[in-house]
Structure 1
Amino acid sequence: MNYLSVENLSKSFGERKLFQNISFGIDQGQKIALVGINGAGKSTLMKIIMGIEVADAGNIAINQQIKVSYVHQNPVFTGNLTIYQTIFEGSKNETLQVIEDYHKAMLDSEMGKENGDILQRLFEKMDTLQAWDYEYQIKEVLGKLGLHDTDLAVGNLSGGQRKRVALAKAILEKPDLLLLDEPTNHLDLETIEWLEDYLSKANLAILMVTHDRYFLEKVTNQIIELDNGSIHRYLGNYGYFLEKKAERREIEATEQEKAKSLYKKELEWIRRQPKARGTKAKYRVDAFEETKEKAFQKREEREIELNVVSQRLGNKIIEIESLGKSFDEKVLVKGFSYTFKKGDKIGIVGPNGSGKTTFLNMLTGIMQPDRGKITLGQTTAIGYYRQEEDSFDEEKRLIDIVKDVAEVVSIAGGSTITFSQFLTKFGFPPKQQHTPISKLSGGERRRLQLLMVLIKSPNFLILDEPTNDLDIMTLNTLEEFLDNFPGCLIIVSHDRYFMDRLVDHLFVFEGEGIIKDFPGNYTDFREWEKQQKSLQKETPSAKEPALLSSETPLNKNKASFKEKKEFEEINQQIETLNKEKKSLVEKITSGTVDHQALLDWSNRIQEIEGVLEELEMRWLELSELDGIE
């Protein structure tokens, strides 16, 4: 079944053509990634599909029998609604309404209100609609996306929290077609892995814009490339796309060389003919014009060269001694010490809110620690690329922004170039350099922000989420540059491919101020975590204390958040099943003459007793864990 058709779509902004006469479709079950360089028009195309932007020409047809959900790159919510109200605002979902009615009836019952008939009716409707499963899914999605306090007002949320709310809303709407614009931005690594797993298994069609290469590899089965205003389709994942794109480029280069050769021959023929155009073979003249266009077609490659130099780094770089930082009663860093060495390439991982950005702000002097000290070497020059987008004067031209910082730039090899040449090497061609900042795309603004950091030749680079909004070509170039960067490097990133390629070890923020130094990249760390969990399952029970080593964690029996939630859910399930059992027993003893009903009720009671036995065994296991109440 066809879900979406795009036919001969065109869009320009002034003289700049984003795409022209592009056509493609999405069918049931297809999971498609939309890729292309920054400014190619990916986000604009998504907005046109959703009716937020208007195309210059062409048509979009969405199957009226399907449900479509869209997650904006930077979602904005207005009003004073809570997270929960926002997620389900305007929902006509019958299952959701039954769940809400059932919980209200349960609450009334607990307050002593006689509503047994209403509860029984709602209970049966919950069963009919399989609402128990949907309620569990709501809790799982909200929990996995870190939306635990759903009573918070959306107007007070950060950009990352708003993205999570938008994702939760889209997933729980149960769409047939899901449109996602940079879904992994602002998410922590564990959340990305959950979302990746969920989308790869979900029975729905997807069109998404993303630069996350692991995400592309696992979730998508097709890739559409928006390149030079045209669409190129690849039936495969990211690895297949890279291979076939290289082949396409080789074929195009060969065809262009043939066109140039043919153009020279045809040009000689054109010049030998009489000047009066009417005397020449019209079909050959037309063919000549087509050949000329193909031979001299300009590609918008925007090749980026990151070959800036860094200042010399002395023996003393940065020393951290017994660092501590808290906000009220929340400890973010506790007693952390580290001496940076030449060539250190360190990744920082940990859940949102664990103190990563606070740590970087202390390292750069933006924030002062409560305890301990940070000492910088005399030659240490820090370049800090922040997660928040820099604020530029929107009316200023691109070239003026860079000119205010440096007239000339030193590059590798000891030579210098003008700021205009430097902009060109950074993927901003001369024509674009006179563009006002307000006209730049999100990815182009982030690239400008990176340029402003590197132009000062730092020897200690701190990159906080540098991959957000950058296209894959820019990322590849940035990785090459950082791989050969002679100074020290600290990276906070949700891009696992980026981290795996560049870092040698990790600072792992475990919460409650604990930071551990792990020797290896992100994939190494995740594998180590899995091994530790397997070992914990195989460790002796508390009944064999003589076999426990002195290094056994004291909190090995402490309940996790997931186990606490499971305990709460089991309590609710046991209570509900017992009520159902009681209701069925009352029906049986009421003296009905309907033998089939009696048989059905008796069978259901047996099923309930079996489920209760399993739940009660699990309840006993969980009740022994520390933190369960």
Structure 2
Amino acid sequence: MLTAQLALHNVTRRYDDRVVLDAVSFTVRPGEKAGIIGDNGAGKSTLLRLLAGADRPDNGEVTVIAPGGIGYLAQSLALPPEATVQDAIDLALADLRELESRMRDAETALRSLAGTELVAAMETYAGLVSRYEAREGYAADTRVDIALHGLGLPALERTRALGTLSGGERSRLALAATLASQPELLLLDEPTNDLDDQAVSWLEAHLRAHRGTVLAVTHDREFLDRVTTTILEVGDGAVTRFGDGYGGYLAAKAAERRRRIQEYEDWRAELARSRRMAAANAVRLDAIPRKAPMAKFGHGAFRARGRDHGAMGRIRNAKERIERLTGSPVAPPPDPLVFAASITGAGSQTPEATAELTGIRVADRLHVPSLRIGGAQRILVTGPNGAGKTTLVRVLAGELQPDDGTVRTHGRIGYLRQEEVPWPPDLTVPQAFAHGRAGDPDERADELLSLGLFRPADLRLRMGELSYGQRRRMELARLVSEPVDLLLLDEPTNHFSPALVEELEDALAEYPGAVVIVTHDRRMRARFTGTHLELRAGRVAQLREAGPAAHACTSSVSPAACTALRRRAAVATAVGPGPQPSAGQPRGGPSST
């Protein structure tokens, strides 16, 4: 495999007034497998388009040298609905098809040449064949079939129109063809989207065996852990490089937090010491007599000293240090996310149940004869797309009224939706955070900043100016800032950076209330302890205890989170129809969001 060279030097890319990448510089060594991470809208896809040559920087230089070819997988297939599967394959194999065409043309030209011209043409032809064979071009179409099979699309007809494929099928087709081109440099934008666990495992094995360089934008933490050797974190216009794969990234982020805590504590200690010194010397100064009658005669040790000597000088120095320290304060790192439970049961005890469903039917989308969610119970809801997972969560939240059956909830419900909440675009960030809540929005700004989900500069923005990822952060900020009894989380990892997802998991591990989670995130599912509810075609296919707590702690979870997981491994109860409780709110309680 030939050597790739990839580098950015002082690259800036802006869209209108928004700077996405600001004077970014980094290099990727040949053979590296780098994961590109960051919040939705941070500039990850922009970075990949620049590297692929599909976009140009406003300033700076992008260097990409890959004689063995570049394979670029965008998030969407740039072909019309009437194009065929074969058209998509040919597009991904375009450089190989071009080499093949040039080989045929050179071969045809050989028949009409002689002498030195023939020798030169033979050398050109041999070079083309060598490049084609180095890319294993003769086996490209066979590799397409192998990749389609590995990604769950065996025997896909080449004449089929793209418009007849689902979005997931088009994504898998584009990925299979890109991998089959076997380029030296792979640039992949969210390659695990629309793949089931088996297909993702096949993809991971394929990329680990790839002899060239790989850059992949992804939110999949398991993929990062199993494939990447380098992490490139995109945020605030910058790109930060971390070595030693995803584990090294987590270790570096933890070390950075410890360093920031230490710097803050050192700053506080120095400020307190300076204030004590100023106060102590002020006391000493007050003890010095304002007049010394014999001093004017200069009798030895009784010679008068100016009041600005000694204690006064130390006070002045201490005040200067105080002014310098307060003028350049060291901010502490944001507090860890915490989900608070209101625990509205009798006394301070956890309520016996936070929700009870009986005879629930929603058209042909959901049928749940009976389900009871305990006060500290944790339920992971899984199933294929269209199985009724989001429908179940919406019924529990009171957002969707069932056609038949009874829903009873007890206490406050917090709901993080999968779909975007339609915020009024003119609301400022503080106004959105305080929307529907008591108090002045500006007074709650400090509370919002303490969560670490927004920067001070973001407070001036309006909701219409935020990226999708930032708007979803607002939903999370509102969720963690109010106590609730039941958390409903529908794909809570979507559009969040891996670092924020790790923090979210730790917060969930410490939460003492009830939780219902719908997620495709493999690491979150593997760490989950509690009850596994599997839906198929809108019906409960399986209800069982999931994952021992010890298994949940085999991944890189904090010791505190592991302890909490072991302490609160939930035991679920599914009951048949029975007497209804005398208290409770029918069809959903108030949502904290």
TM-score of the two chains, using structure 1 as the length reference: 0.60
1:478 CA displacement:
1.6
Within 2, Cα distance between the matches of 1:382 and 1:184?
32
Map 1:233-248 to 2 at 5 A.
233-247=241-255
Once the 2 structures are TM-superposed, how far is the Cα of residue 517 of structure 1 from its aligned partner? 1.1
Tell me which residue corresponds to 1:199: 207
Cα distance in 1, alignment partners of residues 378 and 163 from structure 2 = 37
**Counterpart code for 2:145:** Y
Mapped contact 1:382–1:460 kept (Cα < 8 A): yes
In the alignment, does 2:499 pair up with 1:473? yes
Using the aligned pairs only, state the percent identity: 27
Partner of 1:343: 376
Which of 188, 208, 223 is 1:215 aligned to? 223
Gaps of 5+ in 1: 98-126, 262-291, 410-415, 527-629
- Structure 2 distance, partners of 1:439, 1:299, is 26
Q: Amino acid of the residue matched to residue 133 of structure 1?
A: T
Letter in structure 2 aligned against 1:143: G
Q: Within 5 A, what are the aligned runs for 1:356-395?
A: 356-367=389-400, 369=402, 373-377=405-409, 379-395=410-426
Instruction: Specify the SS of the correspondent of 1:422.
Output: helix
- Looking at structure 2, the residues matched to 382 and 91 of structure 1 have their Cα atoms a distance apart, in angstroms, of 48
Q: Within 5 A, what are the aligned runs for 1:271-282?
A: none
Alpha-carbon distance in structure 2 between the residues aligned to 1:249 and 1:340:
37
Per-residue displacement from partner, 1:46-100 (whole Å, max 9, x unpaired)? 333334554342211122524333344x537563236725633635559999xxx
Query: 1:37-76 to 2 correspondence within 5 Å?
Result: 41-63=43-65, 65-72=67-74, 75=76
The within-5 A match list for 1:13-92 is 20-36=22-38, 41-63=43-65, 65-72=67-74, 75=76, 79-81=80-82, 84=85, 87-88=88-89, 90-91=91-92
Aligned to 1:337, the other structure's residue is in SS state strand
Q: Is the 8 A contact 1:311 1:459 kept in 2?
A: yes
CA distance in 2, matches of 1:150, 1:418: 62
RMSD: 4.7
Matches within 5 A, 1:159-558: 163-185=171-193, 187-226=195-234, 231-247=239-255, 305-306=337-338, 308-310=340-342, 312-313=344-345, 314-324=351-361, 327=364, 333=366, 336-367=369-400, 369=402, 373-377=405-409, 379-408=410-439, 418-426=443-451, 427-454=453-480, 457-510=483-536, 513-521=539-547
Partner of 2:303: none
Partner of 1:595: none
C-alpha displacement at 1:196, in angstroms? Answer: 2.9
Residue 142 of structure 2 is aligned with which of 124, 133, 158? 133
Cα distance, 1:423–1:512 mapped onto 2, change above 3 Å: closer
User: Which residue type is aligned with residue 321 of structure 1?
Assistant: T
Structure 1 pair 185/88, CA: closer, same or farther in 2 (3 Å)?
closer
Classify the secondary structure of the residue corresponding to 1:431.
Answer: helix
Query: Which structure ranks higher in relative contact order (CA pairs < 8 Å, sequence separation ≥ 6)?
Result: 2
1:609 alignment partner in structure 2: none
Whether the aligned pair in 1 keeps the contact of 2:153 and 2:169 (CA below 8 Å) is no
Instruction: Flag the 1:245–1:342 CA change in 2: closer, same or farther, 3 A.
Output: closer
TM-superposition CA deviations, 1:98-119 (whole Å, max 9, x none): xxxxxxxxxxxxxxxxxxxxxx
For the structure 1 residues 231 and 211, does the alpha-carbon distance in structure 2 shift closer, same or farther, using more than 3 Å as the test?
same
Is the Cα–Cα contact under 8 Å of residues 10 and 56 in structure 1 kept in the other structure? yes
Distance, in Å, in 1 between the alignment partners of 2:548 and 2:169 is 24
What is the deviation of 1:156? 8.4
| Correspondence for 2:583 | none
Given residue 9 of structure 2, which amino acid in structure 1 is its aligned partner? E
Select between 432-441 and 243-252 the one with higher mean Cα deviation.
243-252
In 2, Cα distance between equivalents of 1:307 and 1:418:
21
| Aligned with residue 10 of structure 2, among 1, 8, 13 | 8
Q: Secondary structure at the match of 2:374?
A: coil
* Structure 2, gaps ≥5 residues long: 99-135, 271-323, 346-350, 553-593
